[in-house]
């Protein structure tokens, strides 16, 4: 008896979906070839996503959609969102391949995510056999990102993630060695692409061909760690604590407010508008906070311990400087400890020259 080859078996791929255009196109290219695709999206804690817009009131009119979910819906694919924020700390703190221009461990990050997808693929294969998945795709393009998407880093990602030749990059496949799905004839290499470099024109043309006209294209990708000012705040946090570690709350707070460090042992996180005010309010049970009671003003959290009453007065004066009473002779502030004990304190708002530019984190 000859074994009949399961020619009709629909091959299945897991796609890393960030919510940006490239992963969207990579999925489309696979769907065009009849591949069943499901998406996976990883939450690292550093994602520039819905909640950042949800916090800031001025961004209220911007769509608050989660881009990965939105993309999945446009593509008609299932999406699995995975919280990797805890395990991801090791990627940020100890990147084997180092950082990019800021604290972005892009290469280690990509290896980590593809590895996660590989483990998922193996698990699904174990649980569901042929209903599991056959390979992984990403929207990576050779030469597009200086740290991770270079010709020489592509094989490193394949190898170190453990995906090996089960990792296919449909947008750049023709610039890379043949992978398992191409060799096995599950996908036609001839119909894959040879995009390279930072020029986005080929992606735009392909998007047009697929009729896609609404997509997110954040500069530096979808991660706060590629942002210079965010990375500076994270480095400041480590320096102030004398150790490189963080909790999820820390990295959320770095996305919000004005951060001012008048002394190495404490900093103020001052809200800039109503949305941030409401967000910071949720932290009043963890931090001592300052608000102005004699006039409208911001909410500030004190991260660290104040050494004296003089320091408290200095902190209060700085907060008053960002209130409506900044030009008044006196503003009354309310200092509230995490236990809810409140103390009123009249202060003279700090003048601009009393808030050193060097304190701005």
Binding site for another protein (CB under 8 A): 14, 38, 40-41, 43, 47, 49-51, 53-55, 64-66, 68-70, 72-73, 76-83, 120, 123-124, 127-128, 131-132, 252, 282
- Nearest approach in angstroms of CB 280 to another protein is 13
* CB nearer another protein, residue 96 or residue 131: 131
Closest by alpha carbon to 147, among 113, 178, 103, 117?
103
- Nearest approach in angstroms of CB 76 to another protein is 8
* CB nearer another protein, residue 76 or residue 357: 76
- Nearest approach in angstroms of CB 119 to another protein is 9
* CB nearer another protein, residue 119 or residue 205: 119
In this structure, what is the dihedral angle of CA atoms 206, 207, 208, 213, given to the nearest 10 degrees?
Answer: -170
Distance CA 114, CA 99 (A): 18
- Nearest approach in angstroms of CB 117 to another protein is 9
CB-CB neighbours of 184 under 10 Å: 12
- Nearest approach in angstroms of CB 65 to another protein is 5
* CB nearer another protein, residue 80 or residue 241: 80
* CB nearer another protein, residue 58 or residue 123: 123
- Nearest approach in angstroms of CB 39 to another protein is 9
Residues with Cβ within 8 Å of 12's Cβ and at least 6 positions away in sequence, in order, are 35, 36, 37, 38, 131, 132, 133, 134
* CB nearer another protein, residue 78 or residue 159: 78
Cβ-contact 39, 15 below 8 angstroms? yes
* CB nearer another protein, residue 121 or residue 320: 121
Provide φ and ψ at 333, rounded to 5°. Answer: -110, 160
Closest by alpha carbon to 82, among 137, 117, 136, 41?
41
- Nearest approach in angstroms of CB 349 to another protein is 31
* CB nearer another protein, residue 93 or residue 252: 252
* CB nearer another protein, residue 281 or residue 337: 281
- Nearest approach in angstroms of CB 250 to another protein is 14
- Nearest approach in angstroms of CB 116 to another protein is 9
- Nearest approach in angstroms of CB 271 to another protein is 16
Cβ-contact 266, 303 below 8 angstroms? yes
* CB nearer another protein, residue 133 or residue 266: 133
């Amino acid at each position: 008896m000859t074994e009949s080859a399961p020619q009709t078996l629909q091959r299945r791929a897991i796609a890393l979906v960030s919510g940006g255009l490239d992963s969207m196109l990579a999925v489309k290219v696979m769907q065009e070839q009849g591949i069943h695709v499901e998406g996976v999206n990883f939450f690292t804690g550093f994602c520039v996503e819905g909640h950042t817009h949800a916090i800031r009131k001025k961004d209220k009119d911007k769509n608050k959609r989660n881009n990965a979910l939105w993309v999945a819906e446009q593509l008609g694919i299932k999406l699995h969102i995975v919280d990797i924020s805890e395990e991801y700390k090791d990627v940020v703190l100890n990147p084997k391949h180092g950082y990019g221009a800021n604290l972005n461990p892009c290469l280690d990050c990509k290896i980590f995510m593809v590895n996660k997808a590989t483990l998922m693929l193996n698990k699904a294969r174990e649980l569901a056999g042929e209903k599991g998945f056959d390979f992984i795709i990403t929207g990576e393009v050779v030469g597009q990102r200086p740290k991770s998407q270079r010709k020489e880093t592509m094989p490193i990602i394949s190898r170190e993630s453990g995906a090996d030749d089960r990792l296919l990059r449909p947008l750049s496949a023709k610039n890379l060695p043949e992978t398992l799905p191409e060799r096995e004839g599950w996908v036609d290499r001839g119909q894959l692409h040879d995009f390279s470099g930072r020029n986005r024109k080929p992606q735009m043309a392909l998007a047009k061909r697929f009729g896609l006209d609404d997509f997110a294209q954040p500069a530096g990708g979808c991660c706060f760690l590629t942002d210079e000012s965010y990375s500076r705040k994270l480095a400041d946090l480590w320096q102030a604590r004398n150790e490189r570690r963080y909790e999820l709350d820390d990295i959320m707070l770095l996305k919000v407010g004005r951060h001012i460090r008048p002394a190495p042992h404490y900093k103020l996180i001052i809200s800039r508008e109503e949305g941030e005010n409401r967000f910071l309010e949720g932290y009043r049970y963890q931090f001592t906070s300052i608000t102005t009671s004699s006039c409208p003003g911001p909410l500030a959290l004190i991260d660290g311990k104040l050494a004296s009453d003089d320091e408290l007065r200095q902190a209060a004066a700085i907060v008053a400087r960002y209130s409506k009473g900044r030009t008044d002779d006196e503003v009354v502030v309310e200092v509230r400890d995490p236990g809810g004990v409140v103390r009123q304190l009249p202060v003279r708002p700090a003048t601009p020259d009393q808030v050193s530019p060097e304190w701005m984190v």
